[in-house]
Structure 1
Amino acid sequence: MKAYIIANGTFPKKKFLINELKNAPFVIVCDGAIKHIDRLNIRVDVIIGDLDSIDKKLKEKYFKKIVYVPDQMSNDLSKAFYYGLNLGFDEFIILGATGKREDHTLGNISLLLLYTKSCKNIIMKSDYGEFEVVKTPCKISSVKGQQISIFCFDSRIKISSKNLKYPLKELSLPLLASATLNEALEDNFYIRTNKICELLIYKKYL
């Protein structure tokens, strides 16, 4: 089952993302992000968080949908993810998790590596592209000409690729910038590593 999580970062403007959200089977909104959902008249199933950024009028309007979680040791995105997980959802699309504060953006992206251990699939989307965690070896769908960035958090991993403009050949990635701004040559590309691991992949929308 798939759920959509709306974080309180930069809300998407792309029409295809808004349409996707309007057709979402289940929508979990993080706290103050409800202002965007309300403006677009999109159905919401749950509003979750410590309620520190939600407008008073919206709090009253959606009081039956609110799940108050005051825990300050966890951010609202994590509260939404684990709430959805407990409801039985195993696939997640996250919107609005990037933009605004850079520390929040980096923190939210890094959480994908944690979340993926508990679910079948999770993708973080913005107006510019999407992040997804993959387990190697893997075949990754893409579009010819699409910009691809690969991130690895273990410098001992050696990565090889096929169908990328700048091939990786048993390459370790000591920096986050080491394998950014590559390009897909076909509608799929392949990655293998010297041992099974998880990589963070970014695909820029054309």
Structure 2
Amino acid sequence: MDAVIVANAPFRFWPEAVGWARQAGLLLAADGGANHLANVGVRPHFVVGDLDSVTPEVRAWVGEERVVPRPDQDHTDLEKTLLFALEQGASRVLILAATGGRLDHALENLGLLGRYGERLACEIREEKTRIVPVFSQASFAVPVGSTVSLMPLGHCARVWLSGLAWPLAGEPLSLLSRTSLSNRAVEPEVHVKVEGGVLLAFLPC
């Protein structure tokens, strides 16, 4: 099952994203993400979280039968919603409204891709960027000349990159030393391989 999760960062829907929400096999709002969906008139299948951000009016519009209280403070509302998606049998998740607003929230949400990306295919989408975790190897079709960034979640022992202006051949990447920020595609397909870590691929869309 494919799921779409709308988180609670500052967010404005664009037409394609509204279409994803309407067509989702499972549409989930992480707490105040329901407010974003209400703004475009798309009712989520469920609202999950500690429910301190969804407005009373939107909660009533969604309906109490679709509200899933998860009050614990050991997980963020987005993580609770990812766990709920797994419980419902989701195999792929597209996450919206995860990167705007507070930087600490955005970093936590990016980290969730590394935490759950081996259990289900997940990515974060912005209007012009998709963010995908790479655990071993992956290939991505991209326009020649477009900007591609590969950012390690922590430390990656060995990384291979091809199809880019600045390739790598088994070299380490780390946020504390070297990354592959603002690389440039020189071929229509970019190949990424990583050993001993997780990379986040920031790709044009």
Contact 2:154 2:175 in 1 (8 A): no
Give the deviation of 1:156 after TM superposition.
5.6
Contact 2:161 2:168 in 1 (8 A): yes
Q: Secondary structure at the match of 1:34?
A: helix
Of residues 69-78 and 31-40 in structure 1, the stretch that sits farther from structure 2 once superposed is 31-40
> 1:42 is matched with which residue?
42
Contact 1:12 1:18 in 2 (8 A): no
> 1:169 is matched with which residue?
169
Give the deviation of 1:191 after TM superposition.
2.1
> 1:72 is matched with which residue?
73
> 1:30 is matched with which residue?
30
- Count of aligned pairs: 203
> 1:14 is matched with which residue?
14
Partners of 1:74 and 1:155 lie apart in 2 by: 24
Q: Normalising by structure 2, what TM-score?
A: 0.90
Give the deviation of 1:61 after TM superposition.
2.4
Q: Secondary structure at the match of 2:169?
A: coil
Give the deviation of 1:11 after TM superposition.
2.0
- Aligned-residue sequence identity (percent) comes to 26
> 2:143 is matched with which residue?
143
Give the deviation of 1:109 after TM superposition.
0.4
Q: Secondary structure at the match of 1:181?
A: strand
* Counterpart residue identity of residue 7, structure 1: A
Runs of 4+, deviation exceeding 4 Å: none
Cα 1:179–1:147 change in 2 (3 A) is same
Q: Secondary structure at the match of 1:180?
A: strand
* Structure with greater strand percent: 2
Cα 1:57–1:71 change in 2 (3 A) is same
> 1:83 is matched with which residue?
84
Segments of 5+ residues of structure 1 without an aligned counterpart are none
Cα 1:8–1:155 change in 2 (3 A) is closer
Give the deviation of 1:158 after TM superposition.
2.2
Segments of 5+ residues of structure 2 without an aligned counterpart are none
Give the deviation of 1:33 after TM superposition.
1.6
Instruction: Tell whether 2:183 aligns with 1:182.
Output: yes
> 1:159 is matched with which residue?
159
Q: Secondary structure at the match of 1:173?
A: strand
Q: Secondary structure at the match of 2:199?
A: strand
* Counterpart residue identity of residue 49, structure 2: G
Q: Normalising by structure 1, what TM-score?
A: 0.90
Q: Secondary structure at the match of 1:170?
A: strand
Cα 1:13–1:41 change in 2 (3 A) is closer
Cα 1:125–1:12 change in 2 (3 A) is farther
